[in-house]
Amino acid sequence: MGLFDKLFGEFIDIIEWLDKSGNTMVYRFERYGNEIKYGAKLTVRESQVAILVNEGKAADFFEPGLYELKTSNMPIMTTLENWPHGFESPFKAEVYFFNMHRFVDLKWGTKNPIMLRDKEFGAVRLRAFGSYCVRIKDPLTFIKEITGTKGHFSTADISDQLRNLILSRFASILGESSIPVLDLAGNYDDLSDYLTTRIAPEFMEYGLEITKLLVENISLPPAVEEALDKRTSMGVIGNLRNYSEFQAAEAMKAAAENPSGGASEGIGMGIGFAMANKMGQSFNTSQTESAAVSPPPIPQHSQFFVAINGQQTGPFKLAELERKIKDTSINRDTLVWNKSLVEWTKAGKVAELTVFFPQMPPPLPTGNSN
């Protein structure tokens, strides 16, 4: 073997990549400082594309297939390097492989609860999580905007950024929808589709396509869920009186079926429970009847504030106002106010006070009388 054969044997002549990780999005073919041999074989498998990068600039683009790297299928590299006709020398270039298949079951979820206003429960805090699928749509945009010069790029390197983007849009959509909390479960599909459509353009800015996004769960804080469970349980029980009688009957039945001396004790306990229920019901009934015959509360008389000599005085009860009207301390034009009035009003126009003023006859009719 001659010197030149030995040197050319060190150059790379087979370029391919098999992804063993399953989550690698971009891989730069490692050359270990060696150049690529002219005429080297480039294998691009299904769901892959390859890009040659020359001196930091993206050059030729290769879809799935087997290629022999020559000037005939590297037009951009040939132009950039000004290769002469008949060029067959080794050359330097970086080869980037892109995984074009779907990356599935990527997770998103809230780090902190989302604050919302619900029509039924008022202010609530919600947590949500789900999954999404994404794939590289535009390799050139992706390498320019995201990967840069990184030789190995996986879904873990971009998942945080994508998750934050999803959560930001999800919170806005959930707030705009005004869907009641109890109805959210029935709208997961609509929320998923709308969210996918809403964020698709923003993913495209990274050269990515979001193919599917799922909202898997939206939940309340544990304390609120516990209170809601209690409320639901009360609704299931229904009539508490009937439920108590049923429980007592079941206890008596279980005690009667218990063998030996325990049966009589169980029956006694069941009867005791039943009697306690009846006594409680009688007590509640008597309380209800007692409340029904109780007299209503004594009515409270109105009180008024009075403006005298430009000063606020009072409040005065109606009896006091009657005395002041009789001794002319208050006349029809005196301003008064209480909580039933919007503003200070002349006493002669307040219905509760007009009865205390002397009744004046109406003015005589004008014109000729028969």
- Tokens encoding 50: 């390859």
Whether residue 178 is found in the same domain as residue 276: no
- Sort strands 12-15 and 36-44 into parallel, antiparallel or unpaired: parallel
Write out the chain's pLDDT in tens, 370 residues. Answer: 454 444 444 566 889 999 888 899 999 988 766 688 888 999 999 999 999 988 888 889 999 999 998 888 888 888 888 888 778 888 888 899 999 999 999 999 988 888 888 887 788 889 899 999 999 999 999 988 888 878 899 999 999 999 999 998 998 888 888 888 888 888 899 999 999 999 999 999 999 999 999 999 988 877 777 766 666 665 555 555 666 666 677 777 676 676 555 444 554 555 555 555 555 565 565 555 555 556 666 555 678 899 888 888 888 888 888 888 888 888 888 999 988 887 889 888 888 888 888 776 767 777 554 4
231 part of a folded domain: no
367 part of a folded domain: no
User: CA distances (Å), 356 to each of 95, 114, 135, in order?
Assistant: 104, 62, 88
Whether residue 125 is found in the same domain as residue 90: no
Where a domain ends, among 99, 130, 164? 99
pLDDT in the model for residue 178: 83
The closest of 366, 346, 348 to 357, measured between CA atoms, is 348
154 part of a folded domain: yes
pLDDT in the model for residue 206: 93
- Number of CB atoms found within 10 A of residue 368's CB: 5
- Tokens encoding 18: 């098999």
Which SS3 state, helix, strand or coil, does residue 367 take?
coil
- CA–CA dist 299, 358 (Å, integer): 27
234 part of a folded domain: no
Whether residue 95 is found in the same domain as residue 107: no
CATH number at residue 342: 3.30.1490
43 part of a folded domain: yes
- CA–CA dist 73, 77 (Å, integer): 9
Q: How far apart are the first and last CA of the chain?
A: 151
Q: How many domains does the chain have?
A: 4
Residue 314 zone, left/alpha/beta (φ > 0; ψ -120 to 50; rest): left
Cis peptide bond upstream of 315, omega within 30: yes
Whether residue 119 is found in the same domain as residue 209: yes
Whether residue 186 is found in the same domain as residue 132: yes
The answer to whether 66 and 42 have CB atoms below 8 angstroms apart is: yes
Whether residue 109 is found in the same domain as residue 177: yes
CATH number at residue 213: 3.30.479.30
- Tokens encoding 256: 């009667």
- Tokens 């002669």 sit at which residue? 348
Q: Whole domain around residue 120: which residue ranges? A: 103-223
Whether residue 176 is found in the same domain as residue 251: no
DSSP 190-229: HHHHHHHHHHHHHHHTTTEEEEEEEEEEEE--HHHHHHHH
Whether residue 95 is found in the same domain as residue 183: no
Whether residue 86 is found in the same domain as residue 110: no
Whether residue 244 is found in the same domain as residue 197: no
The closest of 126, 116, 199 to 161, measured between CA atoms, is 199
- Would you give the distance in Å from CA 250 to the centre of its chain? 45
pLDDT in the model for residue 63: 94
368 part of a folded domain: no
287 part of a folded domain: no
pLDDT in the model for residue 233: 63
150 part of a folded domain: yes
pLDDT in the model for residue 203: 94
pLDDT in the model for residue 221: 74
User: CA distances (Å), 192 to each of 128, 132, 155, 169, 188, in order?
Assistant: 12, 10, 21, 11, 6
